[in-house]
């Protein structure tokens, strides 16, 4: 008859076999529009995909989605069909280039931009029933401090805030961080300087934000680097392709690969954070029945 220790070892092995690996969920957001946030989301997703990750990007700018347009995709269904109960989340996923999958949002649908926090919660819970193979979920939010931005930021393990060297971008990024910290308890934020002239310029943008946050907020800001201003980015948008595909040797493409290397080194979540999260069932693994009878 097996000992208690042997049963525990067997149960531990069973959990490792049955439990799906956790998904790294990253919300990409910004205080204002026009800072290149969606382009960052798309190209980071492509860079991670290049490195062998199964990446899904969710277009969470629910009423003004455009990731499908940037990739030249023509999805038949989108998140509005999920909200209306016409389709399951699994049914609206469309394949993109490489290992990338896309969850498209509606465009020009006012109802989607006015969803309640409970409806956002319903979308987040829907990911618990998603069987799609995935290593990383990138959530490209709307700009600003809407309910959807708050809901999706709280539900992710990482919040990547995109800023550029404009006073409004910096002040609005601070306002977003302040709201998520003081009202919703988020503590750590990753900062990416976008469309800057140099590495030094990117760090200066980051330091401008930290001068204010260090004085007024109890937060930890992590500078993850910069993406240079690069004309090839605009050319790739016109081609409806990522800059990594269209111009793989460009400075911007190299910056995204460097960023992807850093992202892959971020710790993988080992437990739920205490509030509604994407893929929460992959963070909280129940013990097998055999363990319940053990003392």
Q: Is 289 within the bounds of a domain?
A: no
CA-to-CA distance for 37 and 35, rounded, in angstroms?
A: 6
Q: What is the pLDDT of residue 65?
A: 85
Element (H, E) at 67: helix 67-70
Q: Is 191 within the bounds of a domain?
A: yes
CATH number (domain holding residue 233): 3.40.50.300
Phi, psi of 146 (to 5 degrees): -70, 170
Query: Which residues, other chains included, contact 225 with Cβ-Cβ below 8 Å and sequence gap of 6+?
Result: 192, 193, 199, 202, 255, 258, 259, 262
Q: What is the pLDDT of residue 98?
A: 86
Q: Is 263 within the bounds of a domain?
A: yes
CA-to-CA distance for 99 and 251, rounded, in angstroms?
A: 23
Q: Is 84 within the bounds of a domain?
A: yes
The region, left, alpha or beta by phi > 0 then psi within -120 to 50, assigned to residue 72 is left
Which of 196, 262, 255 shows the shortest CA–CA distance to 224?
262
Q: What is the pLDDT of residue 230?
A: 97
CA-to-CA distance for 134 and 78, rounded, in angstroms?
A: 19
CA-to-CA distance for 236 and 148, rounded, in angstroms?
A: 29
The residue with tokens 């649908």 is: 109
Low-confidence ranges of the chain (pLDDT < 50): 4, 14-17, 285-295
User: What is the separation, in whole angstroms, between the first and last Cα of the chain?
Assistant: 17
Query: Which residues, other chains included, contact 48 with Cβ-Cβ below 8 Å and sequence gap of 6+?
Result: 55, 135, 136, 138, 260, 263, 264
Q: Is 17 within the bounds of a domain?
A: no
Q: What is the DSSP letter of 53?
A: -
Q: Is 7 within the bounds of a domain?
A: no
Cα dihedral 113→116→121→122 (10° resolution): -80
In terms of residue numbers, what domain contains 172? Answer: 24-284
Q: Is 248 within the bounds of a domain?
A: yes
pTM over 0.85: yes
Q: What is the pLDDT of residue 292?
A: 41
CA-to-CA distance for 193 and 164, rounded, in angstroms?
A: 6
Domain count along the chain: 1
Q: Is 29 within the bounds of a domain?
A: yes
Q: What is the DSSP letter of 64?
A: B
Q: What is the pLDDT of residue 147?
A: 92
Q: Are 139 and 37 in contact (CB under 8 A)?
A: no
């Amino acid at each position: 008859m097996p000992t208690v220790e042997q049963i525990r070892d067997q149960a531990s092995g069973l959990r490792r076999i049955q439990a799906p690996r956790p998904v790294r969920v990253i919300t990409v957001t910004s205080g204002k529009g026009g800072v290149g946030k969606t382009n960052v989301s798309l190209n980071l997703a492509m860079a991670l995909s290049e490195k062998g990750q199964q990446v899904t990007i969710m277009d969470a700018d629910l009423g003004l989605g455009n990731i499908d347009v940037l990739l030249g995709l023509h999805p038949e269904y989108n998140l509005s069909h999920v909200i209306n109960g016409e389709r399951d989340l699994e049914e609206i996923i469309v394949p993109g280039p490489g290992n990338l999958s896309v969850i498209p949002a509606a465009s020009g649908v006012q109802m989607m931009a006015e969803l309640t926090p409970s409806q956002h919660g319903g979308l987040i819970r829907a990911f618990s029933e998603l069987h799609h193979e995935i290593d990383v979920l990138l959530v490209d939010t709307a700009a600003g401090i809407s309910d959807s931005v708050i809901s999706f930021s709280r539900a992710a393990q990482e919040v990547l805030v995109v800023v550029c060297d404009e006073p409004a971008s910096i002040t609005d990024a601070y306002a977003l961080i302040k709201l998520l910290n003081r009202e919703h308890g988020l503590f750590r934020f990753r900062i990416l300087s976008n469309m800057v002239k140099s590495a030094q310029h990117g760090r200066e943008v980051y330091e401008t934000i930290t001068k204010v946050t260090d004085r007024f907020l109890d937060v930890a800001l992590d500078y993850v680097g910069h993406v240079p201003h690069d004309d090839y980015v605009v050319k790739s948008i016109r081609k409806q392709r990522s800059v990594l595909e269209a111009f793989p040797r460009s400075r911007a493409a190299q910056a995204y690969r460097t960023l992807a290397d850093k992202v892959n080194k971020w710790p993988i979540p080992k437990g739920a954070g205490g509030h509604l999260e994407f893929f929460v069932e992959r963070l909280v693994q129940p013990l097998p029945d055999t363990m319940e009878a053990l003392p």
